[in-house]
Structure 1
Amino acid sequence: MKLIVLGAAAGGGLPQWNCGCRNCADARAGVIPRMTQSSVAVSVDGEAWVVLNASPDIRAQVDACAAMHPPALRGSPIASVVLTNGDIDHIAGLLTLREKTGFDIYATAAGLDILRSNSVFGVLDPSLVAQHRIALDVPFEAVPGLTVTPFAVPGKVALFLEGDSLNLEEVGEQTVGLLLEDGTSRAAYVPGCAAIPDWLLDRLGGVDLLLFDGTVWNNDDMQRTGTGEKTGARMGHVPLNGELGSLDRLADVEGRKVFIHINNTNPILQPDSVERAEVLAKGWDVAFDGMEIAL
């Protein structure tokens, strides 16, 4: 199994268009690398690829990745797209993939309802782009040789679907993780997760690779940096730091561990920060655009 991180950032990317925080300023100045919004490509044979979440930056991501280039006059190595939720930064890229090249979309019923209820997604020709409903804990083959099993993780509905009543740690089809298996290796992709209960630890046991939600360091990152009022919990993301944070809760998960979906305010983006040093000391990597992992 080969994985390529097409985009490592959370929604808004790095730099975010309207942000002048230290990380965004350093990214603009070339001090730290720029990052596009979260998406990962996976393949077994290196020819047919499944893209996990279609980032709004997918055109630039495809252009920057040779494995994603057209193999002929027309066409694409992208055989399918699997959605983990209905967030704008995970579905908006589908609108870019509309130029009459076929691929398959896989999403839960909740995800497909979003696509089918919004007429703008009608630009995807149904005779070329088939939409498939996936069910929790039921495996399917996204590309030849790669089995994907969606599983529920705590999370919330997409921002544009929020109502007066909101469960920030709802468990159901609105937010899923993905278990990827090729018969030899097992990887888990969880770009959004609001909490880490014991049952989720059990689900992640035995993986060779874990790509996990690295959005915020502390729950109040945005408040600390003066960039906003929302907490990580309000956005549906568990922090890295703290007693209930991912660094402590996932400490006993074996295999390679990589933080992905990293917000522009997260101090782990600074190479000399104490927070990044702690992440590395605890055996984690920090994803970056173009990162390649072979299992």
Structure 2
Amino acid sequence: MRIVILGAGAGGGLPQWNCGCTQCSAARRGLIAPMTQSTLAVSVDGSTWALLNASPDLRQQLATWPALHPTSLRGSPVKAVVLTNGDVDHIAGLLTLREKTGFTLYATDATHQVLSENTVFGVLDPVLVRRETVFLDHPFSPLPGLMVTAYAVPGKTPLYLEGETPELEAMGEQTVGLRLQAGGREAHYVPGCAALPDWLVDHLSQAAVVLFDGTVWSDDDMPLSGTGAKTGVRMGHVAMRGPAGSLARLGPLQGRRIYTHVNNTNPALMPDSEARATIMAAGWEIANDGMEIVL
């Protein structure tokens, strides 16, 4: 199984177009690497690929990675797209895939409904783009030799669907993690997660690789940076630090642990930061665009 991190950033990427925070400024000056928004590509044979989420930066991401270039006059090695939720940074890239090439779109019924209710996604020709419903805890095979299982994780509905009092740690089809299995190896992709209950920690314990939500270092990243009032909790993302944070809760895991979906306001992006030193000392990595994992 080959996993390529096409985009390691959270919504807005790095640098974010309207942000002059420390990290965005450093990225513009070439001091740290920029990041496009959260998307992974997975393959078993190196010829056919599945995308995990479809970020607004997908056209750039597909152009950057040669294995995803067309191999004929009209076509693509991308045969499937699997969605973890209906967030804009995970579905907007579907509009890039409208140019009459077939693939299968996998999502829970809740996420398919989000797409169906927004008529702009009708540009995906139903004759060519087959929509398959994913059932929680039931494995499916988007590519030969690759088994994927979606499972509910604590999360919330997309921002644009929130009511006045959104449930921030809801369990259901609106936010899922993905278990990837091929060749006797297992990886998990959880780009959005609001809390880490014991059962979820146990669920991740057998994985060779865990790619986990790294949106915020501390719950108050945005207020501290002066970029906004929202906390990690309010956005539906568990912080890295703190007794209930992912560093502490996932500390016992023996496999490789990589933070992805990292927000531009996260101070851990700075190489000389205390946050980065703490993460490295705990055995974690921070994803970057183009990182490849082979299992």
Question: Are 1:279 and 2:248 counterparts?
Answer: no
- SS state at 2:97 partner: coil
What residue is the counterpart of 2:218 in the other structure?
Answer: 218
| Equivalent position of 2:16 in the other structure | 16
3-state SS of paired residue (1:96): helix
* Structure 2 match to 1:120: 120
Say if 2:131 is the partner of 1:131.
yes
Q: CA deviation at 1:58?
A: 0.2
SS state of the match for residue 51, structure 2?
Answer: strand
Computed over aligned residues only, the root mean square deviation of the Cα atoms, in angstroms, reads 0.6
* 1:202 aligned residue: 202
Within the alignment, does 1:261 sit opposite 2:261 as a pair? Answer: yes
1:229 is aligned to 2:233: no
CA deviation vs aligned residue, 1:121-155 (integer Å, no higher than 9, x gap): 00000010000100100000011100000000000
Q: Post-superposition shift, 1:164?
A: 1.8
Distance (whole Å) between structure 1 residues aligned to residue 163 and residue 269 of structure 2: 33
Which consecutive residues of structure 1, in runs of 5 or more, have no partner in the other structure? none
Secondary structure (helix, strand or coil) at the match of 1:17 reads coil
**Could you list the runs of 5+ residues in structure 2 that have no partner in the other structure?**
none
SS at match of 2:50: strand
1:254 partner SS = coil
Q: Deviations over 1:235-288 (max 9, x none)?
A: 000000001000000001121000000000101111111111111111111100
Identity percentage of aligned residues:
61
**2:101 corresponds to:** 101
Letter in 1 for 2:234: R
- Name 1:161's counterpart in structure 2: 161
Q: Residue 165 of structure 1: CA displacement?
A: 2.7
User: Alpha-carbon deviation of 1:181?
Assistant: 0.2
Q: Answer with 239-248 or 266-275: which moved more.
A: 266-275
How many aligned residue pairs are there?
295
Q: Please identify runs of 4+ aligned residues in structure 1 that moved more than 3 A.
A: none
Q: 2:89 — aligned with what?
A: 89
1:194 partner amino acid: A
Secondary structure of residue in 1 paired with 2:55: coil
TM-score, normalised relative to structure 1 = 0.99
Note the 1:153-192 alignment, pairs <5 A. 153-192=153-192
CA distance in 2, matches of 1:5, 1:67: 13
Cα deviation for residue 183 of structure 1 reads: 3.3
Alignment-derived partner of residue 42 in structure 1 = 42
Q: Are 2:241 and 1:241 aligned? A: yes
SS at match of 2:112: helix
Alpha-carbon separation, structure 1, partners of 2:3 and 2:84: 17
